Amino acid sequence: MPDKRCTLEDVAAELRDGMTIGIGGWGSRRKPMAMVRAILRSPVRDLTVVSYGGPDVGLLCRAGKVRRVVHAFVSLDSIPLEPHFRAARQSGEVEATQLDEGMMLLGLQAAAWRVPFLPSRVGLGSDLMRLGTGVRTIRSPYADGEEFVAVPALELDVALIHMNRGDIGGTGQYLGIDPYFDDLFCLAASRRFMSVERIVATENLLDEGPVQSLRINRLMIDGVVETPGGAHFTSCLPDYDRDEAFQREYAASARSDEAWDGFRSNYLDVDEAAYQRLCQEQRA
Amino acid sequence: MITRSGPPTRAEVCAVACAEAWRGDGEILANPIGTIPMIGGRLAKATFEPDLVMTDGEATLVENIVPVGVPGAPKVVSGWNPYRAMFDVVWNGPRHVMMGATQIDVYGNQNIAFIGPAERPRVQLLGFRGAPGNTVNNTTSYWVPNHSPKVFVERVDAVCGIGYDRAAELGPVAARFHRLARVVTNLAVLDFDTPDHRMRLASVHPGVTVAGVVAATGFELVIPAGVATSRLPTGDELRLIREEIDPLGLAEQEVPS
C-alpha cells in the first residue's frame, strides 16, 4: 500500500490558474477548510469552484481566487445567506453557473461514470434551462419518447474533501450522520486530496465506525493530509460542532473592507498551525 | 417551558393551515421547510395523518413527535435519510414538500435564487436549491410568512419552482408528477383549484379581510363568492402545539401576534 501523506502546501501547489476544483461537504458542514486556507495563501487564481457551497466558496470569492462558482446554493446554515458570496455576485466580480442541487449530484455522477450526461426530469420548465448554462434536453430512444434534461457531466481537475479518520493509503472514514457527496467529488476529479482529523493505522480503521463508514477507498485518493481541526469553523461531528461564534465573526467581516482586512490578517495571513493555536486560545 | 394559554394566535392558525396541506397524503414523506411548516407537519402526523414519514430536519427519519428547536430531544429513529437518500425519495415520488418563496406569481412559479439580472443580481438569494427537481417530481406547497406585493408578484425574476403555466408548456407527460397543493401565508390560504390553475383565495385567517389579502397581493387573485375563514385549532391541537410540538413558542417569532 502506498504512503500518500503530504502537506497542505503540497496540495495548494497542485492547483493551476483557471482549474476547476470541487469541494466536498455541504453548506457549513465538514468542509476541507484547512486546504481552502492553504489555497488562500497561494498565488493561484481564476478558479472555477463546484460546491454544495458554504464558507469555502465565500472565502475563495472574497480573496479573489474565483472566476466562476457552480452552485445550487451557498449558505452558512445557521446564517442562511453567505455574505461574501452575495457581495461577489452583486458586484459582478464572480460569475455563476446555477444548478438544482440534485442536478449537481447527477453531474458529478456522470463525470464519475465517464459519461457525458445523465437524463433527469430535474430542471424541466424552470429557468435553469434559460439562463445560458447550455443545459440541453434529450428525447428517450425508447417507446415512451419522453424528453429529459441531459444533465452535463461536471468534470473536475481537483477534488478536495475532509473526513474524520483516514489512513496513509487514502482510505477515508466519516463518523457523522451524512457522507454528503465526497466520494462523487473524488470520482469526478483527475487529482484527489483528502484532509482528515486523524490518520490512524489501517488495522484501527474499524475501531470507531463500521465498515460502511469507510466511504472513501484509496482508489479515489492521491494525497492525504492530517489536519486536526481542519474543517474549522464548519462542523465535523462527532469530533466537533460548528464554531458559531467564529462563524458570526467571519460573517461580520463582510461588512466593510476594514473588517475583512482585520479578519484576514488575524486568521488567514498565518499558517495552519498558528490559525489552530489562535482558535484554541479563543475557545479557552 | 412557559405555559401558554388564551385564544389561538395567528401563528397557531398558520400552523394548522400548514398541517392541512398534508391531509389525505397517507404514507409519504412530509418535508416541511421553515418553523411553522415544521410545526404544521408534526401536528398533522400527531393527529389526522399518523402514517406520514418525517425527518428530524437532518438525516434521520423519526416516528415520535420531536419538539421544534429543542436540542437533544429524544428521537425514535426509524430510518437513515442522508441527502443522497433524499434525492432517491424526491425522484421516486412519495413526497410532499413545503418550501418558502421570496417571490411567487399567479400560476405558482416560485423564486428563491436572485432578484435582478442573472449575470449580476441586484440581490443574490439562496440559489435554485432543489426547487426545480421538487416541483417536477413531487407535490409542492409554499409557506410565506410575510404576505406582501413584494412576494406575490406579476412576474418572478427567476423560475426555480415551476408553476402551472410552465407545467402546461411541458405537456401532460413530462408534467404528470407536478402538483401545487396550497400556499399558506400569515394572512390566508391560497390554492390553484381553478379551471386554468390561477391562484385562488381559499380562506382568510380569522381577523383578516378579503380586501386586506387583495391589497397585499401584487397580481389579480381569483376570489370565489363567499370566501371561507381558515379554521381554528381544536383544543387538542392547541395543547399539542403549545406543550409538545412548539414548547419554546418559536412560531410566534415567525408570525408575531
In this complex, which of B90, B125, B167 lies closest to A125 when CB atoms are compared?
Answer: B167
Determine, yes or no, domain membership for A283.
no
Both A227 and A171 in one domain: the answer is yes
Residues on chain B touching A105 (C-beta within 8 angstroms): 84, 87
Determine, yes or no, domain membership for A3.
no
Residues on chain A touching B131 (C-beta within 8 angstroms): 100, 126
- Which range of residues forms the domain containing residue A34? 8-99+155-274
Both A206 and A226 in one domain: the answer is yes
| Model pLDDT, residue A134 | 84
Both A162 and A141 in one domain: the answer is no
Residues on chain A touching B120 (C-beta within 8 angstroms): 89-92
| Model pLDDT, residue A282 | 85
Report the alpha-carbon distance of residue A87 to residue B255 in Å, rounded.
29
The total number of structural domains that make up chain A = 2
Both A236 and A249 in one domain: the answer is yes
Both A47 and A160 in one domain: the answer is yes
Determine, yes or no, domain membership for A147.
yes
Report the alpha-carbon distance of residue B161 to residue B183 in Å, rounded.
13
| Model pLDDT, residue B5 | 86
| Model pLDDT, residue B3 | 61
**Would an 8 Å CB–CB cutoff place B121 in contact with chain A?**
yes
Size of interface A-B (CB pairs under 8 A): 133
Both A165 and A144 in one domain: the answer is no
| Model pLDDT, residue B35 | 97
Both A176 and A95 in one domain: the answer is yes
Asked if B116 contacts B155 with a C-beta cutoff of 8 angstroms, the reply is no
Both A226 and A165 in one domain: the answer is yes
Largest Cα–Cα separation, chain A: 66
Determine, yes or no, domain membership for A108.
no
DSSP summary character for residue A225:
E
Residues on chain B touching A95 (C-beta within 8 angstroms): 119
- CATH assignment of the domain containing A192: 3.40.1080.10
Search chain B and give the residue with CA nearest A122: B133
In this complex, which of B60, B124, B178 lies closest to A85 when CB atoms are compared?
Answer: B124
The residue among B128, B138, B160, B165 with the most chain A CBs within 10 A of its CB, best to mutate, is: B128
Search chain A and give the residue with CA nearest B88: A102
Determine, yes or no, domain membership for A105.
no
Both A141 and A168 in one domain: the answer is no
Both A131 and A241 in one domain: the answer is no
Both A269 and A185 in one domain: the answer is yes
| pLDDT over 50 (residue B96) | yes
**Would an 8 Å CB–CB cutoff place B91 in contact with chain A?**
yes
φ, ψ for residue A249, nearest 5 deg: -65, -40
The residue among A91, A100, A149 with the most chain B CBs within 10 A of its CB, best to mutate, is: A100
Domains defined for chain B, CATH in brackets = 10-247 (3.40.1080.10)
| Model pLDDT, residue B2 | 54
Percent of chain B whose predicted confidence (pLDDT) is above 70: 99
Where does the pLDDT of residue B1 fall: very low under 50, low under 70, confident under 90, or very high at 90 and above?
very low
Both A78 and A186 in one domain: the answer is yes
φ, ψ for residue A71, nearest 5 deg: -150, 160
Determine, yes or no, domain membership for A223.
yes
User: If residue A198 lies in a helix (H) or strand (E), which one and from where to where?
Assistant: strand A189-199
Q: What is the pLDDT along chain A (284 residues), one digit of tens a residue?
A: 999 999 999 999 999 999 999 999 999 999 999 999 999 999 999 999 999 999 999 999 999 999 999 999 999 999 999 999 999 999 999 999 999 999 999 999 999 999 999 999 999 999 999 987 789 999 999 999 999 999 999 999 999 999 999 999 999 999 999 999 999 999 999 999 999 999 999 999 999 999 999 999 999 999 999 999 999 999 999 999 999 999 999 999 999 999 999 999 999 999 999 999 999 888 77
Per residue in B4-60, pLDDT (tens digit) is: 889 999 999 999 999 999 999 999 999 999 999 999 999 999 999 999 999 998 899
- What is the nearest CA distance from A270 to chain B, expressed in angstroms? 31
Determine, yes or no, domain membership for A107.
no
Determine, yes or no, domain membership for A104.
no
